[in-house]
Amino acid sequence: MSHGHVVAVRTYVAVFLALMALTVLTVAAAFVDLGPLNNVVMLGIAILKATLVVLIFMHVKYSTRLIPVVVVGSVFFLVILFVITMSDYLTRGWREIGAP
Amino acid sequence: MSTSHVSALAHQFDTLEQQKESATLGMWLFLAQEILFFGGLFMAYLLYRFRDPVAFAAGSHELDITLGLVNTVVLIASSLTMALAVRSAQLSRTRQLVQWLGATGLLGLVFLVIKYFEYSAKWHHRLVPGPYFEFPEAAIGDRAEMFFSLYFAMTGMHALHMVVGIALLAWLLVPAARGKFHADYYNPVECFGLYWHFVDIVWIFLFPLLYLIGRHYHAGG
């Protein structure tokens, strides 16, 4: 008796097919002009694909609660890296607050 | 439960369950580091793409979408074979485990071969940053060179992770073939699987971010 949850083959195959479909979708969407939405769609699809891999292939859906805490926690710190660095960069042209 | 082997429980753990969860947690903590590690490169990409969107789109157009797409399919397929390998270990099916591990390694090698062809094409087209770099649109040459610096840094670091992964997989095949992994103990297979899936996820982001920038500007570009 395995000490971990055994996932059905059909579940793995279903996830694989979903990942294939999303890959095709992301390439197709790249050629359509959606304006600023292009970036949102690209990233959104990539995040969805990554979520499927994390939850099913990496078994996080079947794991104890501590594992998702580590996963979400590391992404949280990644977001801090992006947000604070870009905030610095994007506000460089601003005039100094309270300058004489 | 088969007991034809010595108990896989190390003395510091109370149960096999606890041992397995401990291994999984440790591996995820390593992956947390890897996420931030690649995160640094993605941060650089984010900033420079924001600064030079036109140059990045022009640079991206020089990449071969077909090869990038094939590589994406190859890696996702290798994640499927890896997941099935872990499943084989969970069910104590040694021969199946070896076969799925082998398939995973082969797909990884296919990925690297394609990468090699991509890189040598870049070299021939003078798109490798450095003294021989020459961009078709000379006016944005410097900014496009930054795109290619990031392209090589990010895919290169990813490829290095692939090489390490394949080497580890070859190393893992030895105890696997000897039946050392089974329902009671398959932690190394599970942990290696986590590493392999992580490297796949990095590529899942690299592909659209590097190959698919501004493709709607030039239809058929």
Nearby residues of B117 by Cβ (< 8 Å), 6 or more positions away: B67
Of the candidates B69, B79, B49, the one whose C-alpha atom is nearest the C-alpha of residue B165 is B79
Q: Name the residue of chain A whose CA is nearest to B193's CA.
A: A58
Q: Name the residue of chain B whose CA is nearest to A18's CA.
A: B76
- A to B CB pairs, distance under 8 Å: 130
Question: In angstroms, what is the C-alpha Rg of chain A?
Answer: 20
Nearest to A27 among B65, B91, B201 (CB): B65
- Tell me what the pLDDT averaged over chain B comes to: 94
Do the chains contact at B197 and A81, CB–CB below 8 Å? no
Query: Across the 100 residues of chain A, what is the mean pLDDT of every consecutive 10-residue run?
Result: 83 98 97 92 97 97 95 97 95 73
Q: Which two tokens stand for residue B127?
A: 């798109």
Q: Which two tokens stand for residue B191?
A: 């942990």
DSSP assignment of A67-97: HHHHHHHHHHHHHHHHHHHHHHHHTTTSPPT
Q: Name the residue of chain A whose CA is nearest to B17's CA.
A: A3
Range with the poorest average pLDDT among A27-36, B8-17, B211-220: B211-220
Cα–Cα dist A41/B57, whole Å: 17
Cα–Cα dist B172/B174, whole Å: 5
Cα–Cα dist B103/B72, whole Å: 16
pLDDT tens for B144-170 read: 999 999 999 999 999 999 999 999 999
pLDDT tens for B177-209 read: 999 999 999 999 999 999 999 999 999 999 999
Write out chain A residues lying below 8 Å of B200, CB-based: 53
Mean local confidence (pLDDT), B115-129: 96
Whole-number pLDDT of residue B5: 56
Which alpha helices (DSSP H) does A31-65 contain, by range?
Answer: 37-52
Do the chains contact at B76 and A19, CB–CB below 8 Å? yes
Write out chain B residues lying below 8 Å of A75, CB-based: 35
Q: Which two tokens stand for residue B70?
A: 């094939």
Q: Name the residue of chain B whose CA is nearest to A44's CA.
A: B205
Nearby residues of B5 by Cβ (< 8 Å), 6 or more positions away: B179, B182
pLDDT tens for B48-90 read: 999 999 999 999 999 999 999 999 999 999 999 999 999 999 9
Q: How confident is the model at residue B44 (pLDDT cuts 50, 70, 90)?
A: very high
| Residue entry with tokens 């949280």 | A76
Whole-number pLDDT of residue A99: 58
Whole-number pLDDT of residue B220: 38
DSSP assignment of B174-218: HHHHTT--BTTB-HHHHHHHHHHHHHHHHHHHHIIIII-TTTTTS
Do the chains contact at B16 and A3, CB–CB below 8 Å? yes
Q: Is the pLDDT of residue B120 over 50?
A: yes
Cα–Cα dist B2/A18, whole Å: 36
Do the chains contact at B31 and A74, CB–CB below 8 Å? yes
